[in-house]
């Protein structure tokens, strides 16, 4: 079992940057695919970015391509989401997710992930 703790959310002006961090407990985190899902009020959950356990496969939603970068540091049991050029529409609660059984072809499928963090709020002012 893995426990995930996010940090790094906050208030930023449009065009600014934030880096979210997700620290995982457990020695086997390096075998877990992981990613970030966001949900804004009144909207469906959106898979923002994902990375395979090896780091060899990544996924980005079209809405964040070129602006967000997902990176993992298995030595630190941590995954990061670097967010640049933030827009008001990026405002949401961001959740870190992980699972060891993710089919590589479904790396960006929400239902593939069993473990979720508590979420961190990102607010972007216009």
Both tokens assigned to 85 = 């050029």
pLDDT in tens, 9-23: 999 999 999 999 999
Q: Bridge-partner residues for 36, per DSSP?
A: 49, 96
Is the distance from CB of 46 to CB of 89 less than 8 angstroms?
no
pLDDT in tens, 37-87: 999 999 999 999 999 988 899 999 999 999 999 999 999 999 999 999 999
- Is pLDDT larger for residue 30 or for residue 62? 62
How far is Cα 17 from Cα 15, in angstroms, rounded to an integer? Answer: 7
Asked if the model's pLDDT at residue 26 lies above 90, the reply is no
Using CB atoms within 10 A of its CB, is residue 39 exposed (0-12), middle (13-18) or buried (19+)?
A: middle
Is the distance from CB of 102 to CB of 28 less than 8 angstroms?
no
Confidence band for 116, pLDDT divided at 50, 70 and 90: very high
């Amino acid at each position: 079992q893995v426990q995930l703790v996010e940090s790094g959310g906050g208030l930023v002006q449009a065009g600014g940057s934030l880096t979210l961090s997700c620290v995982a407990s457990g020695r086997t985190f390096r075998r877990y695919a992981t990613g970030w899902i966001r949900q804004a009020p009144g909207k469906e959950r959106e898979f923002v970015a994902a990375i395979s356990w090896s780091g060899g496969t990544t996924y980005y939603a079209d809405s964040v391509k070129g602006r967000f970068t997902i990176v993992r540091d298995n030595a630190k049991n941590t995954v990061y989401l670097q967010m640049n050029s933030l827009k008001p529409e990026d405002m949401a609660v961001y959740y870190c997710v992980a699972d060891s059984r993710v089919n590589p072809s479904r790396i960006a499928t929400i239902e593939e992930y069993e473990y979720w963090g508590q979420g961190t709020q990102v607010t972007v002012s216009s």
